[in-house]
Structure 1
């Protein structure tokens, strides 16, 4: 049974403290999600694949209003994200979509501004089948843009325009 009082909330962390804050929330038995992407880091003598946060200084906590204070008292957590004067929450489906995106080998690009609404499309084929997105043209390439509501961030993914159809 899903508790209607629990929601996903975006939480802003201190700089470079995402993993530490995530571990602290887990120690407190608070369900959290830290989207990570694999990145190749180059040193002078070697290359290494490391996991970095997809969105710097953000993670998501699945809590009820009673747990706000407990989350804020967690090492590494700076504050909740507000939208229109209220603590922002993220729909479950968007968290599931984000998990699905990260489960693929797609080349993801996070942009730290909110893209203006374009044509809304349904992805009808490929690894993102069933997702709803906005279609924009970036540098002469067709790209799918999934908007994370109430956060001011968007995620670009490469996919064929043939895989989408307009929503009516």
Structure 2
């Protein structure tokens, strides 16, 4: 006959302390990111070129995540553009600044899985594009070019371009986190300006992306 114990000795981990699991995980995350930032900085100082990655975040929280990373000494970037103008009572209200591609922050960090995984511990962060083991990388040249075009007004909502797309069209995304990848148009756009919703076939199936029409090229 097998006797079952109804009692046990010992205490659950951290039951009698003030150190909560979430707090411990935060310290681990911060420690890894501090280490990753230091190594990345040394890499740049020594002439190396640490790659950039796209961190998927909550839409509307891009700048918050950028500020959190900057406070940790981690180089990050949210390329911005001018949003749509509004017309109220015969008045034109200039569009507000908004991310070129919502829901993503570009991060420069050493390409080590533990550092990339630690990014997911940042508040409002979700995951790294492509995963931590085989993430999608961007070079300094690609990121700088994308940001310069954004700052120059290339992707402003009201900018007109000579392209129109229909639902189902295949397009090339010319720059940014998905630069060089093909996508399928979901929402048509024949106005020659504004945004388009496309789906990119990626690592986790079809990924919906809202992109400026000026960022696309018909195939």
Superposition pairs of residues 8-157 of structure 1, within 5 angstroms:
8-42=52-86, 44=88, 47-64=93-110, 65=112, 66-82=114-130, 86-108=134-156, 138-139=163-164, 146-147=174-175, 148-149=179-180, 152=200, 157=214
The higher-RCO structure (CA 8 Å, 6+ apart) is 1
Contact map agreement 1:108 1:156 (CA 8 A) in 2:
no
Structure 2's unaligned 5+ residue stretches are: 1-45, 166-171, 183-199, 201-208
TM-score of the superposition, structure 1-length normalised?
A: 0.60
Query: Kindly tell me: are residues 156 and 108 of structure 1, through their superposed partners in 2, closer, same or farther at Cα, counting changes over 3 Å?
Result: farther
Contact map agreement 2:82 2:97 (CA 8 A) in 1:
yes
4+ aligned runs moved over 3 Å, structure 1: 43-46, 137-140, 149-158
Structure 1's unaligned 5+ residue stretches are: 110-136, 159-168
**Equivalence for 1:126:** none
SS at match of 1:72: helix
TM-score of the superposition, structure 2-length normalised?
A: 0.48
Q: Following the alignment from structure 1 to structure 2, what is the Cα–Cα distance between the partners of residues 106 and 20?
A: 24
Instruction: Give the helix-richer structure, 1 or 2.
Output: 2
Deviation at 1:92, TM superposition (A): 1.8
Larger radius of gyration: 2
Q: Can you list the C-alpha shifts for 1:142-164, whole angstroms capped at 9, x where unaligned?
A: xx962414694776549xxxxxx
Q: Can you list the C-alpha shifts for 1:63-118, whole angstroms capped at 9, x where unaligned?
A: 012522332211111000117x7211112211011022113233457xxxxxxxxx
What do you get for the CA RMSD once the two structures are aligned? 3.3
Instruction: Give the strand-richer structure, 1 or 2.
Output: 1
